[in-house]
Structure 1
Amino acid sequence: MIKWIFLLLLSTAAIAQELQKEYFFTDNTIVSTDLFPKMQKRFELVRIPAGKILYRMDAKVVAKTFELNGIRLDTGKIRFVTFIKKSPVDVTSLKIQLTRVLQERYPTIAIENISIMPHGYLASLPPEANAVFDPSCYLNGNGTFYIIDKDGLRRYFDYSLDATLNVLHTTRKVLRRENLNTANTALKEVPFESFRDTPLTGIPEHPHRFRAGLKPATPIIVRNVEKMPLILKDDNVIVEVRNGSVILELIATATQEGGLYDIITIQKRDGKRSRAKVIGEKRVELQ
């Protein structure tokens, strides 16, 4: 039994800890648990000189220090480790701005936590710091934004959030040009991590259809659907024929589909075809 415990401890110690290239610090004395919080053995690594905001160490020196304390580190391709003094700024206002931006686009998004970290050291925020977000913030759970400081310089921040969003999914295989409705879709809660385009969070107000076929349980994004044309092929349409101030109406069959102001071909009752402009739902104007 003792032998097995010894072997277990030995194998655990042999597992290499993976070194990162950047660490943030608040205390100038860096210890092992600052790099690996779950590590049981605590020992001093380096004392950063007072006033230093950035301090860089050779990764081999860091690894050697751990080795002398019986712990193996995997440095990978990292040549240097940079210690960055953690900024004392209160980023609450920036979190509020990010929350507002996301909730305006996705009213049902459920945000559990937001983490915001400035690039480098930042002593304070301007009194009214306005965050400038990239459009990609609507598609990703992490990213970068900036504010303009009192000197007119951009100060960048990284952010990440834990959130979920109800996204429309297909409930079965759907075909190209099939109507999007409650019979072939349903809402499903997913992590807000990464989307190729804006996800649909509900049935659109105006009728839509699928641009292409999709497999069952596929999250639906904006590029997957399109607005239903006002006129579909083989629809019976009302044709307006203008003659001065007089407007005549007749019935014809659309031989093409079309959206507002598109020029399509129609076929009259006598079999003749003409060009007409779409001016409304199932209504065209003879050209």
Structure 2
Amino acid sequence: MDATSIGWASLPLAILGGAIRVSTPFMFVSLGECITEKSGRINLGLEGNLVLGAMAGYGVSYWSGSPWLGVFAAGIAGMLFGVLHGTLCSIKRVNDTAIGISLMVLGTGLAFFLGKPLVEPKAPPLPSIDLGFWSSIPQVRAALNVNALFFVGIFLAFAVYVFLNRTGWGLMLRTVGDSEDAAKAQGFPVLRTRIFATMAGGFLAGVGGSFLSLSYPGSWSEGLSSGQGIMAVALVIFARWRSLRALGASLLFGGAGAIGPALQGMGITGYYYLFNAAPYVLTLAIMIASTSRSAPFADAPGELSLHR
């Protein structure tokens, strides 16, 4: 079949391929935030973790020649910022929201400053799996050329579900998030659990950042994230703090973000910036829908600040 003979059928293929690419960092950041918020703490500084992870991953991949080593370095960078966030928030009368915003600014600032030498060099990218090998149609092969981190994200969504709902550690984490008094009565280490949860969330956010710099768009530059760390917080609320729902919500956000580039690829350039705003409009709509009910955060952990 000729590559151009599928016509408008290439539009859903382009949206599918774009949804897979755009949703991957959302998966990691939202799963990390699910773990953090299940402990009763909210991290609005994930944008800093994401951008810092993108810079660290790109730099280590460039200097080592190994993109997977870059992914690990990105996770470590995000984890260190998570430890910092968790430690600061453990101090009495310190506000989670204020600390998160401060660390978001700090993380992005550090990434921009330290990443200046990385703007021009080309780092080895993450490998992709060609699931469209069976087709000779370029649009099909492009849509089904899937980065390996996408499958890691799917696996992690199920792993986080099992961890939170089928393990003793997950029960402890949920107890700490639902009632600090009940957790202390059972002898659970509240502060240590929350620091661990924030650290794990930061690690996953850093890994999500490495996807941005090492796969899509696949370079290091300022403004790489476009606010995905902040949008992930809204995504977690939309998913009702459940990892499998966060997986589906990530794909939904990814599909919204892929509409503009897909239409541009079809030669439809009018209203391009309007369609590119679809993820932000979706975020706003989700936040409005989530706060307009009589019990807006009924599923939220009891100790979460926005539940009170």
Q: Into which bin does the TM-score normalised by the smaller protein fall?
A: under 0.3
Normalised by the length of structure 2, the TM-score is 0.19
Which structure's relative contact order is higher, taking Cα pairs within 8 Å and 6+ residues apart? 2
- Larger relative strand fraction: 1
Query: In proportion to residue count, which structure has more helix?
Result: 2
Greater Rg over alpha carbons, structure: 1
Q: What TM-score, normalized by structure 1, do the two folds share?
A: 0.20
